[in-house]
Structure 1
């Protein structure tokens, strides 16, 4: 027998934190793109053509660099560590919430690009996914802790915090030993974006 419920159904439109548990195709597609860029012939020429280049963007209007600069890497070592970490962290986050994955990726890319173009950055060249990765891996760590409130649950976030602090202090990468010099502010900005998005989502009950 059909009955009419007197309870108001929960609002589900606009939720960006509900677990999709779907195949993380966006993360894998992004990882594949980075790998293809790394396999391009004449890697040094491709790096020069696709990396973030302040003068090329501002003076020559090569705006594609605002995106491709995050997908190309300065060495195989650089690509290897970013690719592994991104694939794991981004895939986990996408399975928790694809909408949040998209939002975090777009917002972090925009903010990082604006920062790199600003006088605050004082940088001519930039390459790599690590700035965006720090946003995604921070959100992934926060999701993990929300499900596993224990010392084990704190392990990813603690690792991120210790690594970031070391890099800011030493001005040197922990794992990458080849390629361009570390630009630590991108990591700090990325992590800050991740924390901010998490707090906003919690504040407005979006997850």
Structure 2
């Protein structure tokens, strides 16, 4: 189980470098299935440990184990009762526990491996911001040239109107530049993995 987890983690690093999840879907799905299987194994072991601990409650090591497990999993029940919504434990707790290893491993590894990608959080905004003014420094003084008040008010009114009407953004025909760049990256990573002998097609 340890080797399976370690191999999956290393594989996630290889999948993530210069790649995107859409370019290697089955690889990520395989990693998620492996991590979910390991989670099931861990939960079964936790239940068996609790049974063993209750059988030997006088042993201080097992008593601490009970407190630790109750503190870990009892928090979910306690928080649900405080929020007065315990039904979601029946509807979504299983999925949450199975995907918890994915949240902790796959997503963090992907984020760490793509720190160089500065487009995170921009939601595809690849246009330059409008010029809001100029700041010039000469000697010990600073001169600030702002936009005229009329144009600033007009820009604000236009922005408010855009928010109210929510005009549909027209989709360009064919592939966009970012899609072509991403597909090029996918081909690059596939070729790199194939040449290194990690993946054979």
Task: Report TM bin, short chain.
Answer: under 0.3
Larger Rg: 2
TM-score by length of 2: 0.23
Structure in which a larger fraction of residues adopt strand? 2
TM-score by length of 1: 0.22
